[in-house]
Amino acid sequence: MHITARRIPLFAAVAMLAAACNETPKPKEPAAPPAERAPTTAPAAVNSGEGEVSIVAWPGYIERGTTDKAYDWVTKFETETGCKVNVKTAGTSDEMVALMNQGGYDLVTASGDASLRLIAGKTVQPIDTTKIPSYASVDERLQNAPWHTVDGKHYGVPYQWGPNVLAYNSNVFKTPPTSWSVVFEEQKLPDGKSNKGRVQAYDGPIYIADAAIYLMAKKPALGIKDPYELNEAQYNAALDLLRKQRTLVHRYWHDANVQVQDFTNEGIVASSTWPFQVNTLQGNKQPIASTFPTEGASGWADTTMMHTNAAHPVCAMKWMEHSLSPTVQGDVASWFGSVPAVPKACDGTHEKLGKDGCNTNGFDKFDRIKFWKTPKAECASEGTCVPYARWATDYVAIMGKR
């Protein structure tokens, strides 16, 4: 799978992240959250006292045209609503959870490995989707997804989704690699050199699931049914694979821009990544492409969720409605390399996505993607599984070893 390319100079990508961070408001300590809160609704007009909304988001998810004037889905919103958009970028789900627990933010674009933690911790509140007129246009596969719907209540609105792809240097791989083995197992690459010190892995405990996905195909006798629901034996097999991988890894990445620099300057030739980095590298004329390996892939389906103590709930609700516009959805997908949560953006009329953009970005891969979710002790496939707390502790230990 080749991700939709866009033209972005490297210095612009740096400026984008810096600008996003500079717009971040100083977090405030929230009051203790109530045990339950009624779903938020949006009045017809912005309350005079609001005038802004603060969002924790993945890099590249909220653009105001400072990196590329053609990509701006913020300015029009600010003009029409009077709500200034402040953005704090985060590189991992754990960072997002920490920021939301800290308080001072209204919204977060949470992936499935963060959303259920935020719901369980009462950090985010249920949303009355009947007050979001465009909710009915959301992909039916996402409308009641388990990573944002609990006990019949919706805790946000879907934003974008997609796979974690395998990025590779096309000068080294004249033919796209077909397996994640190029980052998990020591081997000679097509250029005759070892992959040792030339690959990367994701700096996040959820990456254990990537190892489990590989093992589902490599060692079917382990009986892994769900890479986020691992019994002790399955979990230990994944850790063993990751310990071996540690000897190959040049760097564990979580900063998208640093990974772009590593592919450009540090000799990295293969890694799991987001389409965003592939787009940036291709825009910088680097020989980088991406593929969807035969074993399948992990992925993210992100939900815009509102803090229980959001200081600007009116602007937040307005942003959630704005985010579901087919134009906005198509712009984000074209920029990031993701798939819109609103299929209307995929009908071929969006100027930037075109008629093939959604399929290029993985629309037809939905059933082959193992979407991020928070591992829990009680699990459907195994009965008792290793919970996320252990994933976090054990993965940090692996990354720290040499």
CA distances from 88 to 27, 60, 112 (A): 10, 11, 19
Pairing verdict, β 84-89 and 157-163: unpaired
Residue 191's pLDDT is what?
97
Q: What are phi and psi of 254, to 5 degrees?
A: -145, -20
User: Contact 188/194 with Cβ under 8 angstroms?
Assistant: yes
Which residue type, as a one-letter code, is found at position 75?
A: T
Mean pLDDT of 3-9: 40
Pairing verdict, β 297-306 and 369-371: parallel
Residue 105's pLDDT is what?
98
DSSP 166-208: EEEETTT-SS---STHHHHS--B-TTSSB-TTSEEEESSGGGH
Answer yes or no: is pLDDT of 30 > 80.
Answer: no
160-215: pLDDT as tens digits? 999 999 999 999 999 999 999 999 999 999 999 999 999 999 999 999 999 999 99
381-398: pLDDT as tens digits? 999 999 999 999 999 999
User: Contact 89/20 with Cβ under 8 angstroms?
Assistant: yes
Which residue is associated with the tokens 């920490």?
98
Which residue type, as a one-letter code, is found at position 129?
A: T
Positive or negative CA dihedral for 227, 231, 235, 238?
A: negative
Residue 401's pLDDT is what?
77
Residue 149's pLDDT is what?
96
Residue 402's pLDDT is what?
59
Instruction: Say yes or no: do domains 10-162+299-370 and 165-273+374-400 share a fold.
Output: yes
At residue 49 the predicted structure's pLDDT band, cuts being 50, 70 and 90, is: low
User: What's the rounded Cα separation, in Å, for the pair 107 and 278?
Assistant: 27
User: Contact 40/314 with Cβ under 8 angstroms?
Assistant: no
**Which of the pair, 176 or 14, is modelled with greater confidence?**
176
For domain 10-162+299-370, give its CATH number from 3.40.50.300, 3.40.630.190, 2.30.30.60, 3.40.190.10.
3.40.190.10
User: What's the rounded Cα separation, in Å, for the pair 202 and 269?
Assistant: 15
- pLDDT over 70 percentage in the chain: 88
Domain coordinates in residue numbering, the chain: 10-162+299-370, 165-273+374-400
- Looking at every residue in the chain, the average pLDDT score rounds to 89
For domain 165-273+374-400, give its CATH number from 3.40.190.10, 3.50.50.60, 3.20.10.10, 3.30.720.110.
3.40.190.10
At residue 11 the predicted structure's pLDDT band, cuts being 50, 70 and 90, is: very low
- In DSSP terms, 272 is beta-bridged to 166
Other CB atoms within 10 A of residue 11 CB: 10
336-345: pLDDT as tens digits? 999 999 999 9
User: Contact 204/93 with Cβ under 8 angstroms?
Assistant: yes
Mean pLDDT of 207-230: 98
Other CB atoms within 10 A of residue 154 CB: 21
306-319: pLDDT as tens digits? 999 999 999 999 99
At residue 36 the predicted structure's pLDDT band, cuts being 50, 70 and 90, is: very low
